Amino acid sequence: MSQALAILKDVFGYHAFRGRQGEIIDHVATGGDCLVLMPTGGGKSLCYQIPALLRQRAGEGVGIVVSPLIALMQDQVAALTEAGVRASVLNSTLTSSEASAVERDLLAGRLEILYVAPERLMTPRFLDLLGRARVGLFAIDEAHCVSQWGHDFRPEYIQLSVLHERFPDVPRIALTATADALTRDEIIERLALDDARVFISSFDRPNIRYRIVEKDNARQQLLAFIKAEHMAADGTHDSGIVYCLSRKKVEDTAEWLQGHGLNALPYHAGMDPGTRQRHQARFREEEGLVMVATIAFGMGIDKPDVRFVAHLDLPKSMEGYYQETGRAGRDGLPANAWMAYGLGDVVQQKRMIDESEADDAFKRVSSSKLDALLGLCETAGCRRVRILAYFNETSEPCGNCDTCLEPPATWDGTREAQMALSCVYRTAQASRVHFGATHLIDVLRGNASEKIKQWGHDKVSTFGIGKDRSVHEWHTVFRQLIAQGWLMIDHGGHGALLLGEGAREVLKGERQIILRRQASKPGKSGERAARGARTDHTADMDADTLANWEALRRWRTEAAREHGVPAYVIFHDATLAELARTAPGSLSDMEGIPGIGASKLERYGQAIVDTLSRV
Ligand code: ADP
Ligand code: ZN
């Protein structure tokens, strides 16, 4: 264990293990198999990198890492190389002479860590090569790719059980950020990990602040959010991802943000591959870029300094929401997950489910997943408690989500609920079809439009009984009644509402309905919350520190360009900020700053001292 800590400090520049890292490393380094479930950003890489180094140093052989994501492999190898580790990669981007050179290094025992794409690993030729090399461990990253149930299924992953058959004495560590029990069991079965220890970490991401606002003018709200929390006075801004449902909306939104001075780009599966790749590369390399994207964007993006993830449309499920928001703040620094949502989103998602080709069982599951997300949007309690509960984790109110920071007032909405439910009942009774919220609200407010008269709804007993509440207020009532299950959206896709189970009890006055009070003006509460949520490193720097920070940033940009790597591979923002604050005057002063290991100290220490001395 002390050796593992020494490597953590020396090579990676960190001082303590996070969560269960220490245990896992110990287990694998001493030859045990295991399955690691840890959230995105939890620190999975060190769980196999450190054992690989320990085992290679003990003469056991190289650590082989299987990963399906080419961009990610390259980033990892670049970062390891910067840290002084002898790491290489074998995948389809290499020329054959480059690949031969890597293979020679492998056979000669010159490598400490080798990343390999699964399709390459499984070729008879490569397995044979491995048979002639010394292998110290196998790490199987993104292990959920063996799951046929998941979205990331890779057929080659199924064959990975061959590793165990051919190399029974080499320890294996499988890792994933997918939490559910079904996937976990599938990984264990398919990779023949029956005897492996399973390490499950908490899925909480405490540095992410969750916030869900009522949709009013979503784009404007988004812009206000970015300006308030992620933009500096000079107009530069943090890196972030904005998710939209459709390709068209992605393009429109990116263009609109550009029009408002933001460095924003679109990304979706309909774009030509060249442009898509260019945009992805710019996102990795540039320091402040907003990617507006469909969910096609994200897998394989391990940029640590994404400071916010925003949703302009409701995701399909809690799993989706959590995976997408999880791309924020991998470096552990404060980050925001922000979403604007309205009833229209729910109706749209329901329609997509109903109109899909899937069978009824799948549609039912999809609907209940959507309901869970709706519950999150409308909860008056802690968002994090709700999210973690979905993943079977119990927790206390977090103090770092919108409802914790500004608990919404609640009110007794029993009377309004009765009016709404009764209106659903009466209009359906009068016309033998069901109606959507907009129509029902017109009836309640006594708006005698053509459509209302056509249906004869100006004659039903609920016509005009809800005059004293605004359209906006009624919308919030309807949304919450749906979220609480008193109303259901009809299958068939047009947003028609039906009475849910138990609605009868409400109508009979046997149930009290508590609703959350919405901010009277959407966005206002968001701004108030904003002040405490600045994620900008420069927010509380004094003038000297700020000058150091700017000089160091310029130096880092230059160094990154010289080495052909993204800036964060040189140093994370947190390391740079600490350097700016402490302004070390010598290499020995730099000791103890997180993120600076021996190799980086040797490589960049003097340049940092020089840069700071010139400020
Ligand atoms: P994952 O693969 O689980 O998404 P990573 O392995 O990429 O997460 O780690 C996320 C971030 O946390 C990285 O920037 C990494 O440098 C940092 N990190 C991991 N372990 C530690 C630690 N023990 N101390 C400090 N930082 C850590
Ligand atoms: Zn909370």
pLDDT at 149: 65
Annotate 86-120 with b (16+ C-beta within 10 A) or e (fewer): ebbbbbeeeeeeebeebbebbeeeebbbbbbbbeb
Atom number, ligand 1, closest to the C-alpha of residue 16: 23
List the beta strands (DSSP E) in 91-248: 113-116, 135-140, 172-176, 197-200, 208-214, 239-243
Backbone angles phi, psi at 90, to 5 degrees: -125, 110
Q: Burial of 56 by CB count in 10 Å (0-12 exposed, 13-18 middle, 19+ buried)?
A: buried
Nearest 5°: the CA angle 178, 183, 187 is 105
Q: Determine how β-strand 172-176 pairs with β-strand 135-140.
A: parallel
The answer, yes or no, to whether any atom of ligand 1 lies below 6 A from the CB of 315, is: no
The answer, yes or no, to whether any atom of ligand 1 lies below 6 A from the CB of 565, is: no
**Closest listed residue to residue 223, CA positions, set 132, 114, 308:** 308
Mutation to probe ligand 1, out of 11, 74, 299, 330 (largest number of atoms < 8 A from CB):
330
Which DSSP string do the residues of 26-40 spell out, in sequence order? Answer: HHHHTT--EEEE--T
Atom number, ligand 1, closest to the C-alpha of residue 44: 3
**Closest listed residue to residue 34, CA positions, set 19, 21, 15, 53:** 21
92 band by pLDDT with thresholds 50, 70 and 90: confident
Whole-angstrom CA distances from 203 to 48, 144, 158, 206 are 19, 16, 26, 9
Ligand closest to Cα of 50 equals 1
- pLDDT tens column, 144-156: 898 876 667 888 8
Average pLDDT over residues 318-331: 90
The model's pTM: 0.80
Q: Which letter does DSSP use for residue 587 in this model?
A: T
pLDDT at 113: 98
Mutation to probe ligand 1, out of 18, 50, 176, 299 (largest number of atoms < 8 A from CB):
18
Share of the chain above pLDDT 90, in %: 61
**Long-range CB pairs of 96-105, under 8 A, 24+ apart, other chains included:** 103/129
Backbone angles phi, psi at 72, to 5 degrees: -65, -40
The answer, yes or no, to whether any atom of ligand 1 lies below 6 A from the CB of 302, is: yes
Q: Determine how β-strand 487-489 pairs with β-strand 497-499.
A: antiparallel
Residue having the nearest C-alpha atom to atom 19 of ligand 1:
43
Least confident stretch, 9-18, 422-431, 515-524: 515-524
Average pLDDT over residues 567-574: 87
- Domains of the chain are 2-200 (3.40.50.300), 208-358 (3.40.50.300), 410-518 (1.10.10.10), 543-613 (1.10.150.80)
Atom number, ligand 1, closest to the C-alpha of residue 302: 7
Atom number, ligand 1, closest to the C-alpha of residue 594: 25
- pLDDT tens column, 254-293: 999 999 999 999 999 999 999 998 999 899 888 899 999 9
Residue 535: is its pLDDT beyond 60? no
Atom number, ligand 1, closest to the C-alpha of residue 141: 2
Residue 466: is its pLDDT beyond 70? yes
Distance CA 210, CA 448 (A): 41
pLDDT at 610: 93
Ligand closest to Cα of 398 equals 2
Residue having the nearest C-alpha atom to atom 24 of ligand 1:
14
Distance CA 45, CA 406 (A): 36
In whole angstroms, what separates CA 478 from the centre of its chain?
A: 30
CA–centroid distance, residue 479 to ligand 1 (Å): 39
- pLDDT tens column, 374-393: 999 999 899 999 999 988 88
CA–centroid distance, residue 232 to ligand 2 (Å): 27
Whole-angstrom CA distances from 295 to 39, 247, 257, 325 are 18, 10, 19, 11
Residue 526: is its pLDDT beyond 50? no
492 band by pLDDT with thresholds 50, 70 and 90: low
Whole-angstrom CA distances from 83 to 64, 78, 167, 300 are 18, 9, 29, 21
